[in-house]
Amino acid sequence: MKFYSLNNSNVQASFKEAVIAGIAPDKGLYFPEEIRPLSTEFFENIDSYSNHEIAFKAIHQFVSADIPDQVLKEIIENVLDFNFPVVEIEENVATLELFHGPTMAFKDVGARFMANCLGYFSKGENNEVTVLVATSGDTGGAVANGFLGVKGVNVVILYPSGKVSDIQEKQLTTLGQNIVAMEVNGTFDDCQRMVKNAFLDTKITDQRKLTSANSINIARWLPQLFYFLFAYKQAKQEGKEIIFSVPSGNFGNICAGIVAQELGMPVKHFIASTNANTVVPNFMKNGVYEPMPSIATISNAMDVGDPSNFIRIRHLYQDDFSTIKKNLSSYSFSDDATKSTMKEIYSKSGYVTDPHGAVGYLGLKEYQKSNPDVYGIFLETAHPVKFLDVVEDTLGLSPEIPPQIQKVMGKEKKSIKINSYEGLKSYLMDS
């Protein structure tokens, strides 16, 4: 299958080319030329398939021209070696726990899938690829972990000094091998700007093949559709219409859910739940997309003022406002509402949510006010321990530190400190 640029459908690439390049030469996001629905038989009998079989069927059409079936099966087995349970916490309200992977954030699946694809594509090539990525927290750890030890691929992660949590910093600075962490004296926006400059800097790109590992890359974005199928498999027996509420920042995850819908998965509605960053909730009111500077919140993995994947969602719904509205609602919630909801959920059901999951829960409840009979699933995108300070302050309890986090806590941090773009440039030119 080919992928075309959303800026110009004549600009096309194979899966392999699109994964290696990240973004199209005209700076458009890549998009699959078609999405062929899976059979109704498959959705009716989905509970008789294993997660590996489901994932294989769902992603096969997109990658099969470049990845042989046997290799794809192995990749899927490597990537999906943990569970995705749907946990019911109230009548008609359940959470899909996406945090059982190695870094306890949902980004593990996309990062691992992309790493496995790039690893496969760089076999037999002598030109190494450098993955360059800026992180405000969770992306860095998932990417570092996913790419660790992948031959032919080097990873450089930029993060803002002092602005990620201790756990997040350990996850991206202690692995070594092919993973380099650059600690930037600045903000996340500064890190992102440096990464963008490097991609445009021909002195660097003449010498080094660069790619990005954020959700604009199709190999990180598309496999996220697996979650929705796994949730559907578990919730189908309820016999009700299903809705998903997705805590959203760059809108890659929810957009992958919409691809699952295009594949034929029965779903009544999607809810994009956001914090104080209201670009999409505003769009849903008046159809005007107006990016704004990002606002810092306690659900900081969603502090995005210009969500890069929203253009893919518009395209999936033919950029037709009434089709978008029929399928998608979007609500925004304050930090105060998020905290009181974390308390309320805990006191009602004993369930501990992280701030992102709590925003998802709020969006779900908002929709159910006028649609009380639907079965709602909100995505729990990170383990509460990843946002320890907020959880401790709000709930007055300390979640137990899981083994995969304990493992990195004692390790020594190694980072390269940089103050400006020149620091990144000289590293990329000279190392």
Ligand X SMILES: *Cc1c(COP(=O)(O)O)cnc(C)c1O
Residue 303 CB, nearest approach to ligand X (Å)? 10
Residue 404 CB, nearest approach to ligand X (Å)? 16
| Bridge partners, 211 (sequence order) | 131
Residue 167 sits in the site that holds ligand X (CB under 6 A): no
Residue 365 sits in the site that holds ligand X (CB under 6 A): no
Q: Residue from 171, 294, 368, 381 that binds ligand X (CB under 6 A)?
A: 381
Q: Which is nearer to ligand X, 236 or 384 (CB)?
A: 384
Residue type, 60: H
Binding mask 196-215 for ligand X (x = CB under 6 A): -------------------x
Measured between alpha carbons, how far is residue 281 from residues 209, 275, 276, 379 in Å? 37, 10, 10, 18
Residue 280 CB, nearest approach to ligand X (Å)? 10
Q: Which of 107, 233, 365, 386 is catalytic?
A: 107
Measured between alpha carbons, how far is residue 210 from residues 67, 127, 415 in Å? 21, 11, 20
Q: Which is nearer to ligand X, 66 or 138 (CB)?
A: 138
Residue 256 CB, nearest approach to ligand X (Å)? 8
Antiparallel, parallel or unpaired: β 269-274 and 242-247: parallel
- CA 87 to chain CA centroid, Å, is 21
Q: Which residues of 116-140 are buried (b: 16+ CB within 10 A; e: fewer)?
A: bbbbbbbeeeeeebbbbbbbbbbbb
Site for ligand X in 129-158 (CB under 6 A): 138
Give the H or E element holding residue 97: strand 93-97
Contact 281, 271 (CB under 8 A): no
Q: How far apart are CA 399 and CA 406, in angstroms?
A: 13
Asked about 107 being catalytic, the answer comes back as yes
Antiparallel, parallel or unpaired: β 2-5 and 8-14: antiparallel
Q: How far apart are CA 225 and CA 243, in angstroms?
A: 15
Residue 382 sits in the site that holds ligand X (CB under 6 A): yes
Give the H or E element holding residue 402: none
Binding mask 24-63 for ligand X (x = CB under 6 A): ----------------------------------------
Residue 168 CB, nearest approach to ligand X (Å)? 10
Q: Which is nearer to ligand X, 384 or 418 (CB)?
A: 384
Q: Which is nearer to ligand X, 5 or 139 (CB)?
A: 139
Q: Which is nearer to ligand X, 32 or 137 (CB)?
A: 137
Q: Which is nearer to ligand X, 154 or 274 (CB)?
A: 274
Residue 112 sits in the site that holds ligand X (CB under 6 A): no
Residue 330 CB, nearest approach to ligand X (Å)? 12
Antiparallel, parallel or unpaired: β 30-32 and 2-5: antiparallel
Q: Which is nearer to ligand X, 210 or 304 (CB)?
A: 304
- Give the neighbor-by-neighbor strand order of the sheet with 209-211: 209-211, 129-134, 153-160, 179-184, 416-418
Look up residue 189 and give its two tokens: 């926006």
Q: Residue from 156, 204, 267, 301 that binds ligand X (CB under 6 A)?
A: 301
Radius of gyration of the chain measured on its C-alpha atoms: 20
Three-state DSSP at 325 gives helix
Site for ligand X in 236-295 (CB under 6 A): 247-253
Query: Residue numbers of the site for ligand X (CB under 6 A)?
Result: 105, 107, 138, 215, 247-253, 301-302, 356, 381-382
Query: Active-site residue numbers?
Result: 107
